[in-house]
Amino acid sequence: MLNLEFLEDHNIIPAIIPVDLTTGANTGDRVHMKNYERCVFVLLTAIGTAGDDPVISAQQHTAASGGTSADLLFTRIRHKVGATALSAVEDFTLVEQTAAASYDSDPVAGAENQAMFVIEIRASDLTDGYDWISFNVADVGAAAQLGAALYIMCEPAYAGATPPQAIA
């Protein structure tokens, strides 16, 4: 029986380093889907101010930088939202939306709570010619709200002590 460690079959890449989400548009780094079948985007946010709810958007790209960019549509978002202790929220809640390139966390009071948002993208979700993806979080407003995001790259083309590269 094969017993791979998590990081021999997955890769974790910072998308957005911890930042005050009010400092402007928060553009996530691009990751390459060529060697992976799935990317899981995870956004963690601290409590902010009512009405300053994070809006998450996804894009697909033809290059690591520059190139052509286009909206990347998704329908499913999972979240945990907790007023004082996110660690007390055991299960994720699934939200299904009409295919869109963004998700506004306003309906779940994303600014008034600690929150974790998770969106999965499959390589097959990309349009032909697009191999790179990124997630972004718009400026949330005037009051401080801390946030950070990761990409978890899954289902690599091959597994080993060093997973395939996903950044340039």
The domain spans of the chain are 19-156
Full-model pTM = 0.92
Contact in structure between 112 and 139 (CB atoms under 8 Å): no
pLDDT of residue 3: 65
- CATH code at 19-156: 2.60.120
Give the distance from CA 146 to its chain's centroid.
Answer: 15
Low-confidence residues of the chain, pLDDT below 50?
A: 1
pLDDT of residue 1: 43
